[in-house]
Each structure stands twice: as structure tokens, then as C-alpha cells.
């Protein structure tokens, strides 16, 4: 099985007629994702590469049965695009790739979704997600993936790709890889994804990629300790981050000892997670835990 996206996904891309939306939307289609519609206000009634374009997400859903929205809308308008998708009956997942959305807009979107639609939102500022061999919604290169039993969840886009690559090089396929993004107000947390991996019978182990800032990894550690029956291999980026320097992700904010890489590593290890010191060791650590899992059965 996979989580969030699979062969039943019917994708509508908000901003398909823009350069980034076009490139990644059609790359997703080439991978096998069922791209059924695009949305660009004012261009409804046209088509792009055989994909019909609509003025609104609701129109796209009604005409094509789209059930997943991917947002490639510029930052100033992305929040409204996400809210439009959340309000469209039939959309069961929103994937917001857009980077640079103001934190106030993210908070407004998060509150609306939590209070009104409850539609899962991946992102913003994320690489999306991929269920290898089934569906790719986002910017993850499908060429480095393979289907298998390891779930991946990460705050970092590039480290998501490296984790996938390290697994694939060792013949360890992935059930689903989810990049949740590193902004201050993510739509989906580590815990949200871990709950789904725990419920998925075909996910046998999990890779969790964290980074400095916030408390998401500590919250994940609490959940793993109390609720997760599957082995978890972790990596935390940011041990060499210079004090006082602004880092790449808006959510990489450290306050005192809270949010440091060392504190996160300690919390995860105390929850039974195998935390590696180098992302190139992820594949080896997963293979070792999987061997122990097999030998214990």
C-alpha cells in the first residue's frame, strides 16, 4: 500500500500554465500520475498538452473528478489558491509546493483547514510526495525511487532525495516518501505522517529526516515512543550550523537549547530511533534494522 497518493489519484495543478507548474505537472504525468486538469483564472476553456484548463478548482473537480490539488501559485496568491482547493468539494489532498508564502498567510490557511475542511495539506515549501510505481505529486525525481516497504518523511527537500537514493542503492524500496517542508506553519507534521505509516501494513520501517528549529522532531519522538511499532531510522541536519546565522528554512529557528540538532537527536534516540550522523549512512542503518526485524520474526 501507499499513503496519501496512489493509482486512484486524479491530479489538478493550480498554475499548470506557468513554467514551473507546466514542467513538474507534465513530469508527474510522464511518471504515471493521472493529471486530469489545470487551473489558471482567465484561461478556462483552453487546454495545455491535452489537459483541460479551468478557471476554478471546483469547476475542474466537477468536470474531471479531480481529487488531489497541487499548488504552483506565486507566494502572494498561494494562500488563496490553497483555500480555494480546500473549499472545493471532492479534493481530498492538497500539495503546496510554493516557497516563500508569508507566515501569517500560512497560519490563516492552517486555521481554516483545521476548523473547516480538514483536507490534508502537504507543505507549503515542500517537494511533495511520491508512492513509487504508483503516483508522483511534486518535484521528487522518480528516477531515484523504487517500490518497497520503507516510508520516508522529511522536513528537507534535498535530504529527502538523498535518503531515497541511499535506500534505492541498497535495494530498499519505498512505500511513500513525504516531504512536509520546513516552514514555520506546516500543513502536515511528522506525527501526521507517522500515524499513516503505522496504519499501513506494507510499510515495515520508517526514515525520518529532521533539522534544526522548532519542536517537530521532539513531538515525533513522543509519538514514536508511545505509538509506533515499526523501526525508525533518523537523521538530524544542522549540527554544524553557526550560531546566530540565518539558515535556509524559515522554520529553522533555535531558541536557547530548544530546537538544536543535539536536543533533537537525544529525544529521538531516547524514543528508540537509530539516529545516524551522516545521511550517506541511512541506507546501511535501514538495512541493518530490517535484518534484525526479519530475524526476530
Check if the beta carbon of residue 55 is closer than 8 Å to that of residue 42.
yes
- What one-character-per-residue DSSP string does 56-110 give? SHHHHHHHH---EEEE---HHHHHHHHHHHHHSTT--EEEE------HHHHHHHH
CA 230 to chain centre: 20
Contact call for residues 133 and 173 (beta carbons, < 8 A): no
Specify the domain boundaries for CATH 3.40.50.720 within the chain: 10-122
Report the C-alpha gap between 67 and 52 in whole angstroms.
15
CA–CA separation, 101 and 97 (whole Å): 10
| Per-residue pLDDT, 297 | 46
Q: What is d(CA 1, CA 197) in angstroms, rounded to the nearest whole number?
A: 10
Q: Which of 24, 165, 249, 292 is catalytic?
A: 249
Under the phi-then-psi rule, with left for phi > 0, alpha for psi from -120 to 50, and beta for the rest, what region is 68? beta
SS3 call for 128 = strand
User: Topology of domain 140-296, per CATH?
Assistant: Rossmann fold (3.40.50)
- pLDDT tens for 251-278 read 545 444 457 889 999 999 999 999 999 9
Of 57, 261, 24, 23, nearest in space to 136 by CA: 24
Query: Residue 81 phi/psi, 5° resolution?
Result: -65, -45
Could you tell me if 93 and 119 are in contact, meaning their C-beta atoms sit under 8 angstroms apart? yes
Higher pLDDT, 213 or 295: 213
pLDDT tens readout for residues 80-98: 999 999 999 999 999 999 9
pLDDT tens for 174-184 read 999 999 998 88
Active site residue 165: no
* Strand pairing category for 51-54 and 47-48: antiparallel
Q: Are 132 and 145 in contact (CB under 8 A)?
A: yes
Q: What is the pLDDT of residue 249?
A: 56
Fold exhibited by the domain 10-122: Rossmann fold (3.40.50)
Provide CATH 3.40.50.261 ranges for the chain: 140-296
Nearest to 151, CA basis, from 133, 135, 171, 129: 129
> What is the helix (H) or strand (E) element at residue 121, kind and residue range?
strand 121-122
pLDDT of res. 88:
97
pLDDT in tens, 139-166: 999 999 999 999 999 999 899 999 999 9
Q: What is the pTM of this model?
A: 0.92
Helix axis angle for 282-296 and 157-169, nearest 10°, is 50
Q: What are the tens digits of pLDDT across the range 113-127?
A: 999 988 999 999 999
Name the one residue in this structure whose C-alpha cell is 500539495: 95
Cα angle, residue 5 at apex, residues 133 and 171 outer, rounded to 5°: 35
Amino acid at each position: 500500500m501507499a499513503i496519501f497518493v496512489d493509482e486512484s489519484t486524479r491530479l489538478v495543478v493550480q498554475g499548470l500554465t506557468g513554467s514551473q507548474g507546466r514542467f513538474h505537472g507534465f513530469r508527474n504525468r510522464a511518471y504515471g500520475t493521472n493529471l486530469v486538469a489545470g487551473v489558471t483564472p482567465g484561461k478556462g476553456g483552453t487546454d495545455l498538452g491535452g489537459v483541460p484548463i479551468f478557471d476554478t478548482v471546483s469547476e475542474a473537480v466537477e468536470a474531471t473528478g479531480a481529487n488531489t490539488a497541487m499548488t504552483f501559485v506565486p507566494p502572494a496568491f498561494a494562500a488563496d489558491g490553497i483555500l480555494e482547493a480546500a473549499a472545493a468539494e471532492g479534493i481530498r489532498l492538497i500539495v503546496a509546493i510554493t516557497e516563500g508564502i508569508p507566515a501569517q498567510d500560512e497560519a490563516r490557511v492552517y486555521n481554516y483547514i483545521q476548523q473547516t475542511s480538514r483536507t490534508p495539506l502537504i507543505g507549503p515549501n515542500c517537494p511533495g510526495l511520491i508512492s513509487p510505481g504508483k503516483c508522483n505529486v511534486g518535484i521528487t525525481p522518480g528516477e531515484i525511487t523504487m517500490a518497497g516497504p520503507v516510508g520516508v518523511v522529511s522536513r528537507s527537500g534535498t535530504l529527502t532525495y538523498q535518503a531515497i537514493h541511499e535506500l534505492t542503492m541498497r535495494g530498499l524500496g519505498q512505500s511513500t516518501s513525504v516531504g512536509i517542508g520546513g516552514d514555520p506553519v506546516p500543513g502536515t507534521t511528522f506525527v501526521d505522517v507517522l500515524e499513516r505509516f503505522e496504519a499501513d501494513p506494507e510499510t515495515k520501517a520508517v526514515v525520518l529526516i529532521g533539522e534544526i528549529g522548532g519542536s517537530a522532531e521532539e513531538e515525533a519522538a513522543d509519538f514514536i515512543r508511545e505509538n509506533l511499532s515499526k523501526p525508525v531510522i533518523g537523521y538530524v541536519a544542522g549540527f554544524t550550523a553557526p550560531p546566530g546565522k540565518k539558515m535556509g528554512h524559515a522554520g529553522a529557528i533555535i531558541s536557547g537549547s530548544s530546537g538544536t540538532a543535539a536536543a533533537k537527536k537525544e529525544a529521538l534516540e531516547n524514543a528508540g530511533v537509530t539516529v545516524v550522523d551522516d545521511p550517506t549512512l541511512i541506507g546501511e542503518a535501514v538495512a541493518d534494522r530490517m535484518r534484525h526485524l526479519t530475524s526476530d520474526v
